[in-house]
Structure 1
């Protein structure tokens, strides 16, 4: 499907905003769990710490790929455009 440049910029903006919000919440939760480490590092709560650290790592990767979509990853919103103008590593992997 074809998406306009404006729609692509709006989608990228929302993705970056959501990613930054997830990173902010994860950082607050990890800092809070470091302060209350005796309560948070016990059995049921350790899964929340693990999931927030995982969300933090995912957020950094997602922010990096959304911020510089043209050079970091080999995909675009349009499959035909990706196949015609792919990066070197994406052409080799296809």
Structure 2
């Protein structure tokens, strides 16, 4: 219902139109995330090995490398774009 109490007759069509595109969007988002995560892991390993070559203790280099590589997460990516799934669900 709208604010005036009228029923939205076009709502099922809107939901249907959006619902058709959701699986493709989720699939592309997943593939993009996996590619970014792979690149992040590679960069983290390079960062760690470079730190060790420069004389940083291996334990410290490993923890810094893990922190460097863990910055990529779906939650951080979506929140950086202004998308909050929980907030959007509560608004419905």
Query: TM-score, normalization: structure 2?
Result: 0.45
Name whichever structure is richer in helix by fraction: 1
Query: TM-score, normalization: structure 1?
Result: 0.44
- Greater Rg by CA: 2
